[in-house]
Amino acid sequence: MQAETAYQEQELLFKQKKKNLSKKRIDYLLLLLPTLGIFIFFFLLPLFFLFITGFKTFDATSGIGNDWTLENYTKFLSDPFYLGVLWRTVKIALLTTLVAIVISFPVAYQITKANRRIKNYLTLIVLSPLLISMVIRCYGWVILLSNNGVVNNALLKFGWIDKPITLLYTEFSVVIGMVHVLFPYMVLSIMGSLERIDPSVIRASQNLGASPLRTFFSIVLPLTLPGIFAGSVMVFSLAISSFVTPAILGGPQVKVMSFLTYEQVAVMLNWPYGSAIGFLLIFIATITIIIYSKLLTASKKGVAIQ
């Protein structure tokens, strides 16, 4: 009798826990619904229509047609000019990410080693560019890099060059401008990983006779790879889809995929071809990030996107 009563109590307790778990799941779903709705309505649906429009025909007189075609994609993938623009876009994004990592790591390391007061000031300095419009920052670089700008005048004054060198409207100027814009994202990501490193691990490495360089490559760098990966994903994604910075600092001489999309949609009014270029840009960015994630997973030192 007692065993039967205990079994019934356990069954009731199990049912109560199951009911509470179901209620929690419903509560979580209700909390997620607004965000999920915004995500679907403002991201997934436009992306779906972008994908569909890329397979539509286009006529300059009648606009978007009702027939289906692969011409928009074959036109892009078979034209050396457009493939060159695609390669330039990926190359600029990769260079921006690499330069951002190299510059951001020492800055993030010094910030994490500073005392609390200095750390707050340094973090504010790193974040301060985000308070200024991207357009203003880009035009600041125009003043610095133009033929009569600060950089060329300084080089001429010191006698290092005989005539102004072309710095503006080049891939170099675009990379410099985008590193300046995206630098804070990389610093904050690396700082997050550095702050989670247990100082006792570094002290143990030093006590075992490891040099500072060996400690960095064997302990610090592997433990900060998750932060480097997270920052790289943000910087690369923003760099490969950037429009303002390449348009101002690159001009018509340095065309990228985002500029081609704008040109086809807003100037030529060829929405199907512009949609195809835009979706190819999204696809290339996604594939690059997945490959990068797989490389980190294979090294067994980073984290992968699940």
57 φ/ψ angles, rounded to the nearest 5 degrees: -80, 165
* pLDDT given at position 160: 85
Whether 141 and 241 map to the same domain: the answer is yes
If asked whether residues 7 and 76 sit together in one domain, one would say no
- 12-16, 66-70, 135-139, 191-195: range with lowest mean pLDDT: 12-16
- 91 and 123 within one domain: yes
Number of domains composing the chain: 2
β-pair partners for 56: 68
Please indicate, yes or no, whether residues 128 and 226 belong to a single structural domain of this protein. yes
Do 81 and 226 belong together in one domain? yes
38 & 178 share domain = no
The answer to whether residue 128 sits within a structural domain is yes
- In this predicted structure, the answer to whether residue 302 has a pLDDT above a threshold of 50 is no
- pLDDT for 150-189, tens place per residue? 888 988 888 888 888 888 899 999 999 999 999 999 999 9
Residues 6+ apart with CB under 8 A from 208: none
Residues 38 and 105 in one domain: no
Residue 65 belongs to some domain of the structure: no
Say if residue 41 is in the same domain as residue 155. Answer: no
Please report which confidence band the pLDDT of residue 306 belongs to, taking 50, 70 and 90 as the band edges. Answer: very low
What pLDDT score was predicted for residue 173?
Answer: 92
pLDDT in tens, 21-40: 677 777 777 788 888 888 88
Instruction: Tell me the C-alpha distance between 55 and 76, whole Å.
Output: 13
Half-sphere exposure of 304 (CA within 13 A, CB side): 11
190 touches 231 (CB < 8 A): yes
Distances from the Cα of 288 to the Cαs of 91, 106, 278, in angstroms? Answer: 11, 26, 16
The parent domain of residue 49 ranges over 2-53
Closest CA to 282 of 47, 38, 46: 47
305 within some domain? no
Please give the mean pLDDT across all residues of the chain. 84
In this predicted model, which residue has the larger pLDDT, 178 or 226?
178
